[in-house]
Amino acid sequence: MKKTKILSQILTIFEEISSVPRGSGNEAGIISWLQKRAEDNGFKCQTDEVGNVLIKVPASKGKEKSPTIIFQCHMDMVCEKTPDSKHDFLKDPIKLVYDEDILKAETTSLGADNGIGMALAFAAAEDPVIPHPPLELLFTVDEERGLTGAKALKPGFLKGTKLVNLDSEDEGVFTIGCAGGIDTHISLPLYYEEVPQNFTSYKIATGGMTGGHSGCNIHNERANAIRVLCRTLHLISGAIPFRMAYISGGTAHNAIPRSSETVIYLPEDKISELKKIVENCNETFSAEFKPTDPNLSITCAPFSGFPDRRAMNEYYSLKTVDLVLALPHGVAARSVEMPELVETSNNLAVVSVVNGCLEITTSQRSSVPSRLVGITSKIEAVARLAGANFKSGTGYPPWKPNFDSEFLAMAKAIFKKQFKKDAKVEVIHAGLECGLIGSIDPKMEMISLGPTIRNPHSPDEYLEVSSVEKVWKFIIALLKEIK
């Protein structure tokens, strides 16, 4: 597609951002980039103790007395890649691939969540022609692992009281509310012993699943690779006594697991039966999830990577499977007031074995605080029944929608004038930092918007390029309208 000058400028900024590794917890490089860009433009820049960056942009001539507008984004990204990818998220730039109106990455997540929002904020701040009020550009750290940057914000850090969050993923939609969330970490000590001499080892792997964002895509009923693996192991356990050496699956608390694997030891005379069960499971689950996960696969193959031949005993092998299967995953409840909205859910996110302990991470979301506590209590109860240790985080609050906000009314009127149609106003199940920012300053009026992004938190993530310019046109109109 043909790119206008401003669209090319926005995409150039995004390309620069994408060249800097910025996975959650690895934001030092992008913090330096933000600080230097502010310095190059002559903007004042503050960085707090956790790394959140606030850049202050003076008003254009004639708008010095206009109320300050805050553009807010998070600087980190979810790092997901295909099984065959050699990408190193700690040092390699994201390789961008343009295909007409689609922008994606080569074998990795794109990071348009929330890099394109960062690019839009800078484009607005740096444009010498656009009349705009004073601006505050707030870039937070570590959003994707639990909104920890926003949690650390202090009262008074922001001066503005009107905030545009640029972390939404549907052009033409204003988000004005979101779910809160809590993560729970479960740890179960395991008992290992040497396996019998007549046992041999096989790797069983589940993969090819669609995955996606645990807030945006949980209602799509996509397969969870960890659960598919444990359903397979449960069926195997009914016919074959096996010992599990390890289990692994999932990468992030807010990504639906796309792959998982285990190594089991089993009697040599049961190999043919194992292969038959896995083949049947592959056929059954491929049919079950065909609409959502057409590339789902379950495989088994000989494995010879553990010379010490130690594994969990049979009791703990089955206990591991039972604990994972007992934990909830998916939509738990929908909103009564807005039936199209998922109210409460859980993502069975990560499973691994570390230092002889089974480690599990789950991520709960709800727009109703008491029900967030309720589903977290259920997960803790399952862990307690299994004899496991558990710890739930402090979480983050939901963002309660204000349909009567004057700022929202103004944004809707500007959108209708600009595009000759009404913007859609919604509440979402994904988490946004607006709930935390609003808890620090209850007077803050907020909306969230952004260009169209699909399949975030996965290697299938892509950006609809044309939607970027539409968001830009709205931003320009909004800044001009602020008196």
* The dihedral formed by the CA atoms of 37, 110, 255 and 343, expressed in degrees to the nearest 10: 80
Quick one: tokens of 430? 């994904």
Distances (CA, A) of 412 to 50, 134, 201, 467: 35, 22, 61, 18
**Residue 143 catalytic?**
yes
- Phi first, then psi, for residue 116 (nearest 5°) are -70, -30
Rounded Cα–Cα distance for residues 257 and 293 (Å)? 12
Q: CB-based contacts of 307: which residues, under 8 Å, 6+ apart?
A: none
Distance CA 109, CA 104 (A): 8
Count of alpha carbons within 13 angstroms of residue 61, beta-carbon side: 2
Residue pair 366/376 in contact (Cβ under 8 Å)? The answer is no
| Alpha carbons 447 and 449: distance in angstroms, whole number | 7
Tokens at residue 75, please?
A: 């600087």
Q: Are strands 162-165 and 445-448 parallel, antiparallel or unpaired?
A: parallel
Pairwise CA distance, residues 207 & 225, whole Å: 7
Strand segments (E) across 253-388:
260-267, 297-302, 310-312, 330-334, 342-354, 357-366
Work out the angle between the directed axes of helices 112-126 and 5-18 (0-180°, nearest 10).
130
Q: What is the residue type of 180?
A: G
DSSP H or E run through 283: helix 271-288
Contact between 289 and 164 under an 8 Å Cβ cutoff? The reply is no
Instruction: Report the alpha-carbon distance of residue 258 to residue 249 in Å, rounded.
Output: 8
Helices (H), 420-446: 434-440
Q: Are 206 and 236 in contact (CB under 8 A)?
A: no
Please list the residues that pair with 260 across neighbouring strands: 206, 249
Question: From the CB of residue 156, how many other CB atoms can be counted at a distance below 10 Å?
Answer: 8
Looking at the DSSP bridge assignments, the partners of residue 99 are: 102
Q: Which of 27, 136, 143, 183 is the catalytic position?
A: 143
HSE of 412, CA atoms in CB hemisphere, 13 A: 15
394 C-beta neighbours (distance < 10 Å), count:
8
> Tokens standing for 342?
């998922």
Task: Clarify whether 92 is annotated catalytic.
Answer: no
Q: Which one of the listed residues 27, 76, 169, 293 is annotated catalytic?
A: 76
Q: List 56's β-bridge partners, or say none.
A: 44, 136
Q: Which residue has the tokens 């109106």?
A: 101
> Catalytic residue numbers?
76, 143
